[in-house]
Amino acid sequence: MEKEYAIRIKDVTKMYKLYPGNKARFLDTFGLAGKRRLYTPHYALNNVNLDIFKGETVGIIGTNGSGKSTLLKIITGVLNATEGEVEVNGRISALLELGAGFNMEYNGIENVYLNGTMIGFSKKEIDEKLPAILEFAGIGDYVYQPVKTYSSGMFVRLAFAVAINIDPEILIVDEALSVGDVFFQSKCYHKFEEFKKAGKTIIFVSHDLSSVAKYCDRVMVLNNGVKLKEGDPAEMIDVYKRVLVGQYPANGESTEAAGSVAPENTNEGTLEYGTKEAHITACYITDDHGLKTSAIIKGSEFTVHLEIFFEEKVEKPIFAFSIKDVKGTEITGTNTMFERAFTEDVEAGKTVTVSFTQKMDLQGGEYLLSFGVTGFHLDDFTVYHRLYNALSVSVISEKNTVGYYDMNSKIEIDVK
Residue 106 lies in a domain: yes
Q: Same structural domain for residues 69 and 190?
A: yes
Domain-terminating residue out of 206, 229, 255: 255
Pairing of strands 318-325, 351-359: unpaired
Helix (H, G, I), strand (E, B) or coil at 323: strand
Confidence label for 255 from pLDDT (cuts 50, 70 and 90): very low
Res 258: pLDDT = 36
Q: Same structural domain for residues 196 and 85?
A: yes
Q: Same structural domain for residues 207 and 241?
A: yes
Instruction: Find out whether 314 and 291 touch, Cβ atoms under 8 Å.
Output: no
Helix or strand run (H / E) with residue 22: helix 22-29
Domain-terminating residue out of 255, 289, 308: 255
Domain count, the chain: 3
Residue 207 lies in a domain: yes
What CATH number is associated with residue 294?
A: 2.70.50.60
Q: Which domain holds residue 33?
A: 1-90+169-175+184-255
Q: Same structural domain for residues 145 and 82?
A: no
> Using one digit for the tens of pLDDT, what is the confidence trace for 370-402?
999 999 988 899 999 999 999 999 898 878 888
> Using one digit for the tens of pLDDT, what is the confidence trace for 115-155?
888 777 889 999 999 999 999 888 999 999 999 999 877 88
Contacts of 68 (CB under 8 A, 6+ apart): 60, 61, 62, 174, 205, 222
Residue 264 lies in a domain: no
Q: Same structural domain for residues 286 and 225?
A: no
Residue 353 lies in a domain: yes
Q: One-letter amino acid identity for 351?
A: T
Residue 410 lies in a domain: no
Pairing of strands 380-396, 365-377: antiparallel
Confidence label for 183 from pLDDT (cuts 50, 70 and 90): confident
Instruction: Find out whether 187 and 139 touch, Cβ atoms under 8 Å.
Output: no
Report the predicted TM-score, pTM, of the whole model to 2 decimal places.
0.73
- At 207, give phi and psi (nearest 5°): -90, -5
Q: Same structural domain for residues 284 and 342?
A: yes
State how far the Cα of 113 lies from the Cα of 120, in Å rounded to an integer: 11
Res 152: pLDDT = 76
Q: Same structural domain for residues 77 and 200?
A: yes
Q: Same structural domain for residues 388 and 290?
A: yes
Res 257: pLDDT = 36
> Using one digit for the tens of pLDDT, what is the confidence trace for 265-295?
667 778 899 999 999 999 999 999 898 998 8
Residue 60 lies in a domain: yes
Domain-terminating residue out of 199, 222, 255: 255
Q: Same structural domain for residues 275 and 360?
A: yes
Confidence label for 179 from pLDDT (cuts 50, 70 and 90): low
| 6-15, 97-106, 195-204: which is most confident | 6-15
Write the CA distances from 416 to 265, 359, 413, integer angstroms: 53, 37, 10
Residue 261 lies in a domain: no
Residue 265 lies in a domain: no
Cα 62 from chain centroid (whole Å): 8
Looking at per-residue pLDDT, the higher value among 364 and 309 belongs to 309
Helix (H, G, I), strand (E, B) or coil at 407: coil
What CATH number is associated with residue 23?
A: 3.40.50.300
Q: Same structural domain for residues 295 and 244?
A: no
Q: Same structural domain for residues 227 and 356?
A: no
Q: Same structural domain for residues 212 and 79?
A: yes
